[in-house]
Structure 1
């Protein structure tokens, strides 16, 4: 039997179910001081993906008591991120992973590495992430405020796997997979034909983590851009990680950038606390050391701080798989503020507002948990709320939107980006259901 067939068969066997089951209760890996299990050192990683099936008819997720959910728009093409313009129009980045660069036939890898790559490709396909990127931003307009958009049209196209968006003055900044770009914007316009201008290039290439997000400070003078790692734990060599696993600060006027924080394996959701103006992010931590490790997290982001990746996690917990070891870097690593649970895959994050939410959801952050592919049992696949008091997380996450998994543990949807609309209601991009959901107070 030739090697490609053997590799494919081995990968299929992996996907039939492999790896260990979580030993810790899920709640033990959540909070400011999560319990960290011993690493599981087996060669074959845990694989347990919820196959993507989408929603049937007019079905949708289940809101928490006191909330209602409507489909702001259906029939989108892999919606990943949402952004609300000042006039209430909603921009949706319809996007997916850019094409993989051509590599040598064997890539210098052994059979196990080829099997792992095949497994990951099959995982992504089953998760609904195998479709080509639409590479566009669509505008949604709900003129009568009934929670359903009457207008859905292409706003900007021919982008490169766009993700985060932010408006500063009359310029819309977009985080493509390979660059931060901008276009002029006039309030109320429904499409833009002007080609984007590059503000600054961003690390791209192999794109193990391709998503880039962007947020602006209150003054509109600085932008903050997330860039995920190019590997799980640096196995592609640290030269391939130059400028990655980091958050960059970009000057709005000049486009000059500097490294703001590093050691963040895959930061996604990003935003400033409206009360303290402290920058926060959610981060996807490393894989393949068990269902209990490593908890993904929510953390404030300090200027110049290093958060451990790849040499350690949660401060000084050394990852023995990384070679060479760097005790000097481990000594610098600071622990994150709040664990969200192992492998929940937090992507979206936005601060709440009392304008459109009940009092118990008025102060804190909403987080879109895309869901695990490497944990038994499954985790994530929901939108949660983490309450804040005095600018800090103050209690366990509260489920806001659930039901993305059906009774057979297949994914009807998977939440990604979250944002507030003009009224303060919560918008959720669902990239498997191809829907943007709107969550508001029940009438």
Structure 2
């Protein structure tokens, strides 16, 4: 009996010591984040982790009278407050703003990663049930504040992306692309949504986005992976880590693959080509792998889960795919490791001053597994006249202050878009606000 007790005690000490060691010494970045940004990032050797570094900002909310900090020449105010986890935005032709108040569906799966993710969702303020609705916000007097709001649609399933095409409003639920007829000026839609295409829903990456293609005849729908590196097998990743192209007659195809979690999508105003921001993989250390912004063309394969950043192998993935390495497309622009790039919009219709006319705004939700933390801001990527990010340019801070002096999160930016007046709107999902950025007068 005594020997058994001693064995148990020894095991407790060993496990406890390992936990203490892990908490005391998580993987820390060895490179400045700027070194892992831009068109030529420093791709260092991976530091594979069995247990991820956990460094996520606790959510404290916005104290009364406080706002994010805007870049020089800009100012920011609240367009709307008191929302329930606002994540994505869509501006209707009449200027009304739709906001998807949404969150992850109930998560399934266990193991250490499932346990860690469950803890993180609660810590990051993302563990609340989804409101499953789209709310309409209307600025009736043009003062930059939404005076009225109404429940536009309800009863949805973790809705995210929204897009108008040919008189139909398309909504990307986590498990389906659906549509309803739209009449300009409507403040509520009660029609039963029509199923267009079923999608594989849920998983680690549940948010689905949708935008019309440049020709206005098809739609692009982004579907993130179910896991980090397909650790549950590739069958669970069927039609995931993809951008799909969908026709209104309900036909569809895989447009591009190997994209771990493409969320924000936008058309480049220079040439109408599709661009996206992508969340890259975890547990290779605080310096890898960079999230990225890239152009996407039909047939592209970006390497996930076997390769990252254009052909660097992830030796954790089995079975191997050596024949895919030379075909893994290199992204155009690195945003930095673990910034959680989600929002994307080009500045085509922005009226924010000369500095912000040629490039893209990116909503960086913020890291959970990097020390020090990264993201928690809205960044600007300058573009050149050729329609690509400017050579040698690094991201520029547009909206910061989402972390307070103690490192706690007042908010976390997600969706970004340009409103009818040329201002930048930013969905803050744990601050429960929509911020509006304008040129300072």
TM-score interval for Structure 1 and Structure 2 normalised by the shorter chain: over 0.9
Could you say if the C-alpha distance between residues 86 and 126 of structure 1 is closer, same or farther in structure 2, counting changes exceeding 3 Å?
same
1:340-351 alignment to 2 at 5 Å? 340-351=335-346
Residue 175 (1) aligns with residue 172 (2): yes
Alignment of 1:387 with 2:382, yes or no, is: yes
Aligned to 2:35: 28
Tell me the residue number matched to 2:226. Answer: 230
Q: What is residue 410 of structure 2 aligned with on the other side?
A: 412
Aligned residue among 131, 147, 152 for 2:149? 152
Equivalent residues of 2:97, 2:138 under 8 A apart: yes
> Shift in Å at residue 337 of structure 1?
0.4
The secondary structure found in structure 1 opposite 2:208 is coil
Q: Give the aligned partner of residue 110 of structure 1.
A: none
Q: Is the 8 A contact 2:210 2:220 kept in 1?
A: yes
Report the alpha carbon displacement of residue 356 of structure 1 after superposing the two structures with TM: 1.4
Aligned residues: CA RMSD: 2.0
Matching residue of 1:366: 361
Question: Is the Cα contact below 8 Å between 1:15 and 1:119 reproduced in 2?
Answer: no
Say yes or no: does 1:50 pair with 2:46: no
* Contact preservation (8 Å) 2:101, 2:134: yes
On the 8 A contact 1:12/1:119 being kept in 2, the answer is no
Map of 2:95 onto structure 1: 88
After superposition, the C-alpha distances for 1:350-391 in whole angstroms (9 at most, x for unaligned) are 010354121110111000000000111110000011111120
Q: Deviations over 1:137-195 (max 9, x none)?
A: 00000121111100111110000000011111311101100000111111111111111
Of 330, 333, 336, the residue aligned with 1:335 is 330
Stretches of structure 2 lacking an aligned partner (at least 5 in a row): 1-7
Change (3 A) 1:215 1:17: farther
Are the equivalent residues in 2 in contact too, given 1:19–1:290 (CA < 8 A)? no
Instruction: Indicate conservation of the 8 Å contact 1:353/1:424, yes or no.
Output: no
Residue aligned with 2:205, SS:
coil
Distance 2:185 2:365 in 1: 32
* Contact 1:345 1:371 survives alignment (8 Å): yes
Verify the 8 A CA contact 1:162 1:175 in the aligned structure 2.
Answer: yes
**How far, CA to CA, are the matches of 2:17 and 2:389 in structure 1?**
43
What is the CA–CA distance in structure 2 between the aligned matches of 1:42 and 1:15, rounded to whole Å?
11
Runs of 5+ unmatched residues, structure 1: 108-113
Cross-structure match for 1:280: 275
Q: Go from structure 1 to structure 2 and tell me whether the alpha carbon gap of 1:354 and 1:176 turns closer, same or farther (over 3 Å shift).
A: closer
1:184 is matched with: 181
Q: Distance in 2 between matches of 1:12 and 1:266?
A: 30
Q: Deviations over 1:390-442 (max 9, x none)?
A: 20001221111000000010000000000110011100000010000010111
> Take 1:123 and 1:255, find their aligned partners in 2: how far apart are those partners?
37
Cα 1:10–1:349, aligned 2, differ >3 Å: closer, same or farther? farther
- Whether contact under 8 Å (1:354, 1:363) holds in the other structure is no
Partner deviation per Cα, 1:10-65 (whole Å, 9 max, x = no partner): 99869955521100111100011110111112432211010111111132101111
Q: Please name the residue that 2:125 is paired with.
A: 128
Per-residue CA shift, 1:316-344, capped at 9, x if unaligned? 10000001111012222111000000100
Q: In structure 2, the residue corresponding to 1:300 is in which secondary structure?
A: strand
What is the DSSP-based 3-state SS (H/G/I as helix, E as strand, rest coil) of the residue aligned with 1:124? Answer: helix
Aligned-partner Cα distance in 2 for 1:175–1:42: 34
Give runs of ≥4 in structure 1 deviating > 3 Å: 8-18
| Rounded Cα–Cα distance in structure 2 between residues aligned with 1:228 and 1:343 | 16
TM-score calculated relative to the size of structure 2: 0.94
Q: Does 1:430 align with 2:437?
A: no
TM-score by length of 1: 0.93
2:85 paired with 1:78: yes
2:207 is equivalent to residue 216 of structure 1: no
* Local SS of the residue matching 1:146: coil
- Distance (whole Å) between structure 2 residues aligned to residue 287 and residue 239 of structure 1: 20
Residue 331 of structure 2 corresponds to residue 324 of structure 1: no
Say if 2:160 is the partner of 1:163: yes
Q: Equivalents in 2 of 1:326, 1:346: separation in Å?
A: 27
SS in 1 for 2:34: helix
- Number of aligned residues: 428
Q: Deviations over 1:64-83 (max 9, x none)?
A: 11111111100000000000
Cα distance between partner residues in 1 of 2:17 and 2:215: 54
Structure-2 change in CA distance of 1:324 and 1:62 (3 Å):
same
* Corresponding position of 2:5: none
Partner of 2:301: 306
- Residues 269 and 348 of structure 2 are in contact (CA less than 8 Å); yes or no, is this contact kept in structure 1? no
SS across alignment from 1:59: coil
Distance 1:87 1:314 in 2: 41
1:267 aligns with 2:262: yes
Q: State the alpha-carbon separation in 1 of the partners of residues 49 and 82 from structure 2.
A: 42
8 Å contact from structure 1 (residues 226, 246) kept in 2: yes
Query: Aligned partners of 1:234, 1:83: CA distance in 2, in Å?
Result: 32
